[in-house]
């Protein structure tokens, strides 16, 4: 590894040739390390991203490169700075990551998730909202909600999310004793007492899929109460948030009636979560053009993608732009690909690729694939 890096140093790259940093704790990343890749340990990676969180194309790349390496970039550092500077006693501050297609929003979110894990936050991560509302395999498991009139449940998705929550937070759930504050009665025979740990609630939701959505509601309420009482600090990360505000989903009731996002219980749960009526937490959202169908993808700016309702719900929020690679980052990425023997060819290839991919991270990755 070291000799290979040294070989690269000997080449005639005038810019910074090192592209790796050995700093694996995101909390200690600072601007000296912008443009450098750091690797996440495989078991951490599994813990955080087993049920989603990294884009599919990136997962393929990690398999090829046999490591998960994320570049340290300015937006992530910006959010980390703001989190450190913010007062936890004030209501939660919401950060909205926006940017063009393929500019690195989901990966920035992944970086921040790692940071949250290391800092001991309780993580509430929704990997991709459109998965629930728009991706409909042949038969989507949907039921009418029992507790709320006229709403639709997505029990399997809810159960999957609870499992994801459990894996991400297994350390915290084991160590700390987070107790729920009130009774929850699911049916005549099933009841979760006040004072039992949250883990029990989660288990119940995973086992009894029928009540999974209501469990999520209860869970989020409890977590808010816990955060308010300073027992834990919470990190909420939602990817593709604007999908909640798009007028239509791809779901249909058995009577072929189209469902709007606000008629789905999961939507309401997470919208409640992102309100700023609780404190001691951080909310990071990404809004993506890919979360909505092609006709509505004209712009990537927040107001357009969130529609009026979404904007009013989130206002005031801190918009953070995730842009394309800078020159330094681009070269660093190219060096990384060369190191992984993904990109071969003369060194002039970099200038050409920079032009053709317009320094867009996703495009660059795609274009290196056949090379």
Partner 1 sequence: MSILIKRSKSGCFNSACNVKLWRLNSTSADSALKKGEEEEEFRVLDILKKRDKMQRRVVKRTDVQPDRIDRMATNQNWGNVWPGPKTFHPSSVPLPIRQGYVPKGQAPPGKKANAELMKIPNFLHLTPPVIKSQCEALKQFCTEWPNLLNSEESIDKHYPLEIISSDYCHASPSIRNPLARVVILRVKLADLKLDKHSTDKFKRLVGDRYDPKTDLVTITADRCPTKVQNLDYVNYLLTACYHESWNFEDWEKEKTEDDMEYYDWDNNASKRSLIDWYLRIKNESKIMNDEEYKAFDISQIENGAQYKAAVSIYMNEGENPQTVQEYSIAVRKLFGLPQKKLF
The residue among 70 and 159 lying less far from partner 1, judged by its C-beta, is 70
* Residue placing its CB nearer to partner 1 in the complex, 155 or 302: 302
Q: In this structure, what token pair is assigned to residue 65?
A: 């490169």
9: its two tokens: 């140093």
Contacts of 348 (CB under 8 A, 6+ apart): none
The dihedrals phi and psi of 126, each to the nearest 5 degrees, come to -105, 110
- Measure Cα distances from 120 to 155, 203, 233, 317 in Å: 29, 22, 8, 24
| Identity of the residue, 248 or 301, whose beta carbon is nearer to partner 1 in the bound complex | 301
Nearer of residues 99 and 261 to partner 1, judged by Cβ: 99
What minimum distance in Å lies between the beta carbon of 27 and partner 1? Answer: 17
Nearer to partner 1, 79 or 109 (CB): 79
Sign of CA dihedral 50, 54, 56, 58: negative
Which neighbouring-strand residues pair with 68? Answer: 40
What's the min distance (Å) between Cβ of 55 and partner 1?
24
Contact in structure between 204 and 222 (CB atoms under 8 Å) = no
How far is residue 301's CA from residue 97's CA, in Å, rounded to a whole number?
10
Cβ contacts of 275 within 8 Å, gap of 6 or more: 313
Positions in the binding site for partner 1 (CB under 8 A): 31, 34, 74, 78, 81-82, 85-87, 90-91, 93, 276-277, 299, 301-304, 312, 315-321, 326
CA distance 165 to 304: 31
Residue number, 86 or 347, with CB nearest to partner 1: 86
Residues 199, 175 contacting (CB under 8 angstroms): no
Q: Whole-number minimum distance, CB 98 to partner 1, in Å?
A: 8
User: How many other C-beta atoms can be found within 10 angstroms of the C-beta atom of residue 132?
Assistant: 27
Q: How far is the CB of 62 from partner 1 (least distance, A)?
A: 27
Q: Which is nearer to partner 1, 76 or 202 (CB)?
A: 76
What is the smallest separation between the CB atom of 78 and partner 1, expressed in angstroms?
Answer: 6
Taking the complex as a whole, the smallest distance from the CB of residue 337 to partner 1 amounts, in Å, to 23
Q: Alpha helices of the chain — where are they, by DSSP H?
A: 2-10, 42-49, 56-65, 74-85, 105-119, 129-133, 155-168, 170-175, 198-207, 212-228, 265-273, 302-314, 327-339, 349-357, 361-368
> Which is nearer to partner 1, 230 or 344 (by Cβ)?
230
In the complex, least distance from residue 198 CB atom to partner 1, rounded to whole angstroms? 25
Residue in 318, 371, 247 with CA at minimum distance from that of residue 75: 318
Smallest distance from the beta carbon of 190 to partner 1, in angstroms?
A: 35
């Amino acid at each position: 590894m070291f000799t290979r890096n040294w070989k690269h140093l000997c080449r005639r790259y005038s810019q910074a040739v090192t592209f790796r940093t050995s700093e694996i704790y995101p909390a200690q990343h600072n601007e000296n390390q912008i443009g450098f890749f750091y690797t996440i340990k495989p078991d951490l990676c599994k813990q955080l991203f087993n049920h989603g969180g990294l884009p599919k194309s990136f997962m393929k790349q990690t398999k090829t490169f046999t490591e998960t390496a994320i570049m340290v970039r300015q937006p992530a550092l910006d959010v980390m700075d703001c989190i450190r500077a913010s007062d936890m006693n004030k209501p939660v501050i919401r950060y909205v990551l926006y940017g063009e297609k393929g500019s690195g929003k989901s990966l920035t979110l992944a970086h921040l998730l790692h940071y949250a894990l290391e800092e001991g936050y309780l993580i509430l991560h929704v990997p991709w909202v459109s998965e629930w509302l728009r991706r409909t395999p042949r038969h989507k498991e949907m039921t009418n909600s029992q507790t709320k009139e006229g709403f639709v449940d997505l029990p399997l998705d809810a159960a999957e999310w609870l499992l994801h929550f459990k894996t991400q937070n297994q350390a915290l759930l084991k160590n700390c004793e987070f107790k729920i504050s009130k009774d929850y009665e699911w049916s005549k025979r099933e009841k979760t007492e006040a004072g039992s740990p949250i883990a029990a609630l989660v288990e119940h939701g995973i086992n009894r899929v029928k009540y999974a959505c209501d469990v999520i509601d209860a869970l989020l309420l409890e977590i808010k109460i816990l955060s308010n009482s300073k027992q834990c600090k919470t990190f909420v990360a939602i990817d593709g948030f604007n999908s909640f505000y798009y007028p239509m989903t791809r779901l249909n009731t058995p009577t072929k009636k189209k469902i709007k996002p606000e008629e789905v219980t999961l939507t309401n749960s997470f919208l409640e979560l992102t309100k700023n009526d609780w404190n001691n937490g951080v909310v990071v959202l990404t809004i993506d053009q890919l979360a909505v169908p092609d006709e509505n993808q004209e712009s990537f700016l927040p107001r357009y993608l969130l529609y009026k309702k979404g904007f009013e719900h989130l206002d005031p929020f801190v918009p953070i732009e995730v842009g394309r690679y800078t020159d330094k980052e681009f070269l660093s990425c190219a060096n990384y690909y060369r190191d992984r023997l993904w990109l071969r060819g003369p060194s002039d290839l970099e200038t050409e690729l920079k032009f053709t991919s317009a320094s867009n991270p996703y495009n660059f990755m795609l274009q290196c694939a056949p090379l």
